[in-house]
Structure 1
């Protein structure tokens, strides 16, 4: 579990030039709850800074999860250590294929919190600056393992090391990875996203609807 504090950096265009992407591990307990609509609400984790609310945070992007296994793969490729939270994730999981999870899939974290997967993380210029790697956004996109945004279904407290239990897997094939490809490099996949229904992030759902209408597919 990782939280970020607002920090001034030279590589972001947020108001005041601050970002909360540099998240650090904490033991907790940390309160998790729905933060409110995008543009108003920030992170779903108490004490976690979101500095550009028009693009980050809000109910449908309340929590960001990344698999430790994916971080380990990047460590080998980049030749450097990546601590939990290095990609700006709130939850660093083990033993779960986060990018292979289904939109609408629900996880119980610890005894109280239930989260629902809504979309894939899309890399931005702040992420590029934070990582300080050449062509980082392109490389991250090509890898196709972006990690997942989740919304809060049942609030509560979580702690580092809490187990993650998959409570529900929807009856469709729209994964986080498929969603990522559809909204980045393979727009022709967008009609397939509509099978996820209301569980899909509203912006991705609207893009898929418009594409389907435009091309008659």
Structure 2
């Protein structure tokens, strides 16, 4: 709609190793069905070590991790020092409420890349190893008392392409009824793919 702020990519990050944070890059390339080229989590089957230990043949529904820069702003206001890529995300965005997107939302990023949102990132205790107290800061409660996970969303790559800081992000939700994002494997996404 006219007058609405445009969502953009603030930073892109990747790491060839299973590191907590990911260094910033000038550009990343996402590969359809695999993830971020050269990233430790790139592949058709799961790459997160805890999931590999349970079943290495599971489909990789966590190919790309996105965090909204507004979370970094909130964490800074709470006294934490967190920048793009430091929580393990591949894409840092601004101007898009990632957590409010329904499962299966298609994100068109830059000129060619297309992602499909699969679920919420479930933050783990490692986050407190980065900064003490950070795990509690990325968890909250809504008005009904339900747990709110604020550590971003996970996605799969539908169409390959390069992504750079400054690229636009357009969100295209699936047809209703909408299913809210949940942590873990989202089977509805597999049916929609």
TM over 0.5: yes
Cα deviation, residue 175, structure 1 = 2.6
Q: Is the 8 A contact 1:32 1:158 kept in 2?
A: no
In the alignment, which residue of structure 2 is the partner of 1:28? 27
Q: Is the 8 A contact 1:63 1:90 kept in 2?
A: yes
The correspondence of residues 87-102 of structure 1 with structure 2, limited to 5 A, is: 87-102=87-102
In the alignment, which residue of structure 2 is the partner of 1:14? none
CA distance in 1 between counterparts of 2:158 and 2:177 reads 20
Counterpart pick for 2:151 among 135, 146, 166: 146
CA distance in 2 between counterparts of 1:29 and 1:107 reads 16
In the alignment, which residue of structure 1 is the partner of 2:111? 111
Q: Is the 8 A contact 1:103 1:200 kept in 2?
A: no
CA distance in 1 between counterparts of 2:105 and 2:165 reads 21
| Runs of at least 5 residues in structure 2 that lack an aligned partner in the other structure | 1-11, 42-46, 53-57, 142-147
CA distance in 1 between counterparts of 2:48 and 2:107 reads 27
CA distance in 2 between counterparts of 1:133 and 1:54 reads 22
Report the structure, 1 or 2, having the larger helix content.
1
Q: In terms of Rg, which structure is larger? A: 1
| Runs of at least 5 residues in structure 1 that lack an aligned partner in the other structure | 7-18, 36-43, 184-195, 202-217
CA distance in 1 between counterparts of 2:67 and 2:175 reads 20
Q: Which deviations, in whole Å up to 9, do the C-alpha atoms of 1:60-116 show, x marking residues without a partner? A: 111010100111101111x23321112111110010001111101101111111111
Q: Is the 8 A contact 2:30 2:113 kept in 1?
A: no
User: Would you say how many aligned residue pairs link Structure 1 and Structure 2?
Assistant: 162
Greater relative CO (CA pairs within 8 A, separation 6+): 2
Matched, 1:48 2:39: yes
Report the structure, 1 or 2, having the larger strand content.
2
The correspondence of residues 1-217 of structure 1 with structure 2, limited to 5 A, is: 1-6=12-17, 19-35=18-34, 44-50=35-41, 52-55=48-51, 59-77=60-78, 79-129=79-129, 131-134=130-133, 136-142=134-140, 144=148, 145-176=150-181, 179-180=182-183, 198-199=188-189
Q: Which deviations, in whole Å up to 9, do the C-alpha atoms of 1:27-68 show, x marking residues without a partner? A: 115243322xxxxxxxx1112224744437953111010100
The ranges of structure 1 where at least 4 consecutive aligned residues each deviate by more than 6 angstroms after the TM superposition are none
In the alignment, which residue of structure 2 is the partner of 1:206? none
CA distance in 2 between counterparts of 1:70 and 1:64 reads 14
Q: Which deviations, in whole Å up to 9, do the C-alpha atoms of 1:133-179 show, x marking residues without a partner? A: 13x43442326223110011112222222111113343124333xx2
> 1:115/1:173 Cα in 2 relative to 1: closer, same or farther (>3 Å)?
same
Q: Which deviations, in whole Å up to 9, do the C-alpha atoms of 1:118-145 show, x marking residues without a partner? A: 111011233332x2313x4344232622
